[in-house]
Amino acid sequence: MDHPVPTPPAAASETGDPLLLTPGPLTTSASVKRAMLHDYGSRDRHFIELNQGILERLVGIAGGQGSHVAVPLQGSGTFVVEAMLGCFVPRDGRLLICINGAYGKRMAKICQYHGRSHTTVEFAEDEPVAPAAVEASLERDRAITHVAVVHSETTSGILNPLTEIARVVERCGRGLLVDAMSAFGAVPLDAREVRFDAVCASSNKCLEGVPGMGFCIARKEALADTKGNSPSLSLDLHDQWRAMQASGQWRFTPPTHVILAFDQALDEFDREGGVEGRGARYRANCALLVEGMRALGFRPLLPDGLQAPNIVTFHMPENRKFVFERFYGLMREQGYVIYPGKLTQADSFRMGCIGRLDQDHMRGALAAVRHALDRLGIGETVA
Ligand SMILES: *Cc1c(COP(=O)(O)O)cnc(C)c1O
């Protein structure tokens, strides 16, 4: 009955760590980690130039040369989202927040903390933000000055129709603020085609640096108007921008090692072919994962057309032999870290496909899922 199933050797990153099939932190390359083995003073000329170079490259990735600037900020992604909302929504402004998951909800919570006037337009977690609903809200509520949206809601992995939403916001004469954390660098976003006041993302996620800093890419004219808006000193992007213009330096201790790693990560991003190359690898990872998991009887939450190539949400199988905690442990034993679900509407779990992962890693992950099912006593498929 109980056939011992031999466990294959555990998968590992280049530096021997388990592979992170999660929405961040992510697996990074050995060369990115090695780039951190230096101590720089914040006034060091080499460091200042490298920092400046990174900011210019970020503007370039967003197609904002000449019209936009990048402003960096210490901290995880949420810090820069909070900084963006606090800075770009004037004290007497009002924000419309598009919500179809936890990160949209977090933006509403930030506004509550700031005491900023806001309202929401909400959708189910497996439903994209509808541009028509945004337009209706803007026509109904003339006090709204800005709209905030998450490009890819990492709660589910859904991709929101940013181009169409931006068109509506522009037509209605409001400002657009985008949390592009889990899309930037892998999903195209071009400031020449999509009008926005600010887009923010972080060093980790699709750019594959180490976690520790975020950045905001802002339309210069919009950013210039934000003086005095921020309710926070350390999160004041306008002040950070002005200080950096004046001295080339961060206002407060810069995360020097994170910045060194980020520079290396951007070299590797360029070598891969930028957004196109990075996006192609992630899409191939994602397609393999979805197809392989479907063959094993798992059901993805989203239809392929709504799925961003970053993280896939699977419905929790109803099979009684499938105990998630055991499945998680069996995957971890084999060198793959997966992620619990974050949906409020359905029991689920998630598997990411971003970071330093390729198709061989995804095939390895699928073999590990098969092996875990064997160990759980689940035959052919889990369905
Ligand atoms: C990861 C992420 C963030 C930031 O999360 P942190 O844990 O603060 O780094 C914000 N928005 C989205 C959509 C994300 O995927």
Q: What is the pLDDT of residues 234-275, one digit of tens each?
A: 999 999 999 999 999 999 999 999 999 999 999 999 999 999
Q: Using a 6 Å cutoff on CB, does residue 155 contact ligand 1? A: no
Q: Nearest CA to 26 among 286, 355, 259?
A: 355
What is the reported pLDDT for 327? 97
CB 157 within 8 A of CB 312: yes
Distance (angstroms) between ligand 1 centre and the Cα of 141 equals 29
Q: How far apart are CA 290 and CA 97, in angstroms?
A: 30
Report the nearest atom of ligand 1 relative to the CA of 78.
Answer: 8
Q: How far is the centre of ligand 1, averaged over its atoms, from the C-alpha of 102 (Å)?
A: 10
Residue 60 confidence class, pLDDT cut points 50, 70, 90: very high
Cα of 77 to ligand 1 centre, how many Å?
A: 5
CB–CB of 7/333 below 8 Å? Answer: yes
CB 181 less than 6 A from any atom of ligand 1: yes
Asked if pLDDT for residue 5 goes beyond 80, the answer is no
**Is the CB–ligand 1 distance for residue 154 below 6 Å?**
yes
Q: Under a CB-based contact definition with an 8 Å cutoff, are residues 369 and 293 in contact?
A: yes
Cβ of 310 below 6 Å from ligand 1: no
Mean of per-residue pLDDT scores for the chain: 96
CA of 370 to the centre of ligand 1 (A): 30
How sure is the predictor about 3, in pLDDT bands with cuts at 50, 70 and 90? low
Q: Please give the DSSP secondary-structure letter assigned to residue 382.
A: -
The predicted pLDDT at position 343 comes to 84
